[in-house]
A and B are shown apart, each in its own frame.
Chain A
Amino acid sequence: MKKKGFLQISFQWLFAIIVGIVILFLTIYGITRLISTEEKVIGLKTSKEIGILLNPLETGFEEAKSSFLEFPVDTRVYATCDDFGDFGRQGIRISQKSLGKWTQAGEDIEFYNKYIFSKYPVEGRKMSLFSKPFEFPYKVANLIYMVSSNEYYCFIDAPDDIENEIENLNLENLLIEDCSESGYINVCFNGDLCDINVNYEAGEVEKGDGTVYFKSDALMYAGIFSDTQVYECQVKRLMKRVANLASLYIDKANLIAVSGCETNLNTELGRLITQARGLDNSRDLHSLISFIEEIDMKNKNNVQCKLW
């Protein structure tokens, strides 16, 4: 009697199983790689889209403007800052939640004329945004504040104009009341035991990761909503733009002087360039306040030949 094998499998079945396993393995491997690459591409595209969606916020003149970003899945937005070069650099990169895991954040999409103040990273499906112009003493940029809609900020004892501004922004996670619920971030203007303490008169914002210094309301919001490291870097970038604009105004002053328009601001603007470029951290802003006010007053008084 002929001895038969334990399993009676024909060659066709054996071939199909082996090739099937190989092809399925390659498929799974290929799809995993493809998804990983696509995630990075989508991350880059979304970062670029965020940049475009922020454009409307950059056209504000006097008032603060608000908006929001909505993502289809939980998203972490990493707003990076680099103060290298003529203007420094704003980077945006994102990571999204897929099957319970965060995808790897891709490369930064770079912007040179944006100033985003946020936590690093800011996380959620919806991000509240608002912007406010920053002047020093001329308009320098519109600062953009990005806050996760999952985080609620309660402004306690804020000055009236700040309260009015926050009310007008109409953002659901910025409240003007004492919030006792846990998880809410209390921002106190008249106390030192809250999550964030603002000394409005002294121009200081004190919080968990350090104290930052501000000169105007635009920078005060920046101090409240961003991490200390992000804030300090963005202030340095803003000062670089202040210096570049001052240089532009000196050239303009020289040009219009030919038409008989005297501004007499070149010396002050030259000094501003030196001080803005030499700024070490936000604390140095305080030493510039009276000087900035002096330049602004001098320009305003020159009715015929205002530089800005």
Chain B
Amino acid sequence: MAYDITTWKDFKNYQSACYRNYVNDSEGLRCMGSTWSPLAPLKGLGDDILMIGGEPHAASTAGTFPEEAREDISASEVAGIGFHSCSYLKLFVGEVVRDRIGITDGTIKQGYPKPNLIWTTHLCNLHAKWYQEVSRRLGGIPMYAIDMIGGGNAEKDPKIVKYVCDQMEQGIQWLERITGRDFSDELFIKATRNEIKVLVLWGNICALNRHSPAPLDERRLIALFPPAMVDRTTDECVRLYEALLKEVRYMVETGQSVAPNQRYRIVYFGLAHTYGHPEMARILRDAGAEIVASVYTFGTAGNFKGIVNGSWTFDPIDPAWVDELDLSTRRKAITELAKIVLGWPTWQGVRSYWALESMAQAMIKEYKADGLLLAPSRSCETDFRNGYVGMQRIFKSKIPTIEYDSDQVDVRKMDLPGAQRKTELFVHLMEAHKKEVYDK
């Protein structure tokens, strides 16, 4: 019987509360930007920081209000944003253009809540350009982007770590200047430890999916990682993931899963494409196939050991390590934060094809996969499209591999019938492969 996650509702509430506070609070400091940024520096500015992150907000808006999302994307295009640009970006800018915002609890508010500042990153071709456009449209919001250079083994390259630390250090000075507030190292360090803890905890939760049956499926993973994306710096967020880790460990010990029928275990490379993802999951589930590991849900807000002795591993990091970390000075906290953020698997593949392949190899092996499903996102400029076609060429002789086109949130770019046919074919390939292995 399928297991029901008991902490589910708390996760949803946390996410909705963050957005509600951003939209409705009249006192706090509104901060906008990619949640692929180190967030703790913002918390050094006080206890009243309200955050809205681009990618998770766009994804959840598309899931909550499909019609609104389409209107937002259209509005963006009418306002001049290119058809091929990132659809998260277009949805987000579309809300600014339409001067309204929708959040996960079902609220649509007229009058876009203007941020006080933009704190973001730049890595793919569009990351900073996204917020440059928002800033321009809102009359010139001060903006600071951190170059997260990436590169395959970034968190272990002293040159890259120093570069990101120096930018963060300057960014903190900028935050003080732009807000007129004093920066509290105490608040920052506390938020840093929380941020690192949540990322490590999520890595541990994901790693439990190596067991058979895997306790979580991709749908639950997608639903459970937003708090880590929206605001991972709070005590409450840490508590959420500690509780979830405990629960998922219990599931493993008792052999339970949210989707127990797992004849085929799949590794997935691609975003959660809002349109079509449930249909593909249904086809897979009907055949007893489940996505048990994905670079998107694992690697966007989770940390693992990464490259060890020249090879990638998704071995988890001991959460106790976070408690031991020396964060006694601002620079030390910045350094650990830079390393953890640079260590996200999703960063690595953006600029490094070998890291992407190395991650796929590790995931396939460690999660005992029967198939590799690649779903490049048509308008994504990061590793959710880069390298996928080449990966198909490399992996198809090793493991059943299928690639279908998707898009983050733009329904027009989703070839649903084509993706369905390919997913069915994928199931047949895995069946044939298993039979062949047994016959031998």
Say whether A and B bind each other. no
Show the binding face of A for B, using Cβ within 8 Å.
none
Show the binding face of B for A, using Cβ within 8 Å.
none
